[in-house]
Copies of this chain bind each other. A is one copy, B any other.
Amino acid sequence: MSESPDPIARAGALLRELRERRPRVHAITNAAAQTLTANLLLAVGAVPSLTTSAEEAPAFTARADALVINLGTLDAERRAAIPWCIAAARGAGKPWVLDPVFVEASPPRLELARLTLAGQPAILRCNAVEAEALTGEAPTPDVVHAFASAHGAVIALTGPTDLVVDGRRLARIANGHPLMTRVTAMGCAGTALLAAFAALEPDPWLAAACGLLVLGVAGEVAGETARGPGTFPAAFLDALDALDGSQIAARARLS
């Protein structure tokens, strides 16, 4: 990590603020992620809403403190609602976070992801395959820095080691557990935590780094109690609910 502020110190404080201030997060997310996303937000103290209708989602967004746009299971309702919700978040000066799930698998989705990027998300969370589809080349730190600068967005690139990049600063987070990749929508639900933190922390790079750190530490704690991929999600939510700054400090592997 190139410079302060320190995500390790900030993450515990952000969790406490979240539980006290209970920000609202509206999420347009894929069908397999809706329940886990809502439960993750409730587990950390935020208030979720999930409506995908173009008639209603902008009103939900306008009263929310942050917005998640996840491009999974992109049906006609979501397609119609997404640009209006982005407009509502921008109009209200609220941060929004983009999760371009499976953007490598569907040409119209890639096109739509590029259009939504023009709406300037605070944070783009993706994995290496999705990043490569968006940038057109292997997502090295330099490539990701350049992409972040070009779009004015923090890139939170998740993998065995997560990278959080804003064109200038770089955090590497090595926390996490292999079972996190064996449960559907763990990444998608995690994106909602980044949005909740961005509702409270005006520096989106710090919000993203704190979010991925909290997710990785909670995943490690859960990996120690879960008996397999079936029992993992409940253990993960329990761990998030109980997590505090001292656990984060003790386990953080940040560089």
User: Which A positions have Cβ atoms within 8 angstroms of B?
Assistant: 30-32, 34-36, 38-39, 42-43, 48-53, 55-56, 59-60, 63, 72-77, 79, 102, 105-109, 181-185, 227-231, 233-242
Tell me if A229 and B51 are in contact (CB < 8 A).
no
Q: Complex: how many Å from CA A237 to CA B229?
A: 6
Q: Complex: how many Å from CA A44 to CA B142?
A: 36
Q: Which residue of B lies closest to A109 (CB)?
A: B56
Tell me if A56 and B106 are in contact (CB < 8 A).
yes
Which of B52, B230, B234 has a CB less than 8 Å from the CB of A73? B52
Which of B43, B48, B52 has a CB less than 8 Å from the CB of A229? B43
Q: Which residue of B lies closest to A77 (CB)?
A: B75
Q: Which residue of B lies closest to A57 (CB)?
A: B106
Which of B51, B74, B107, B227 has a CB less than 8 Å from the CB of A72? B51
The minimal Cβ–Cβ distance linking A38 to chain B, given in whole angstroms, is 4
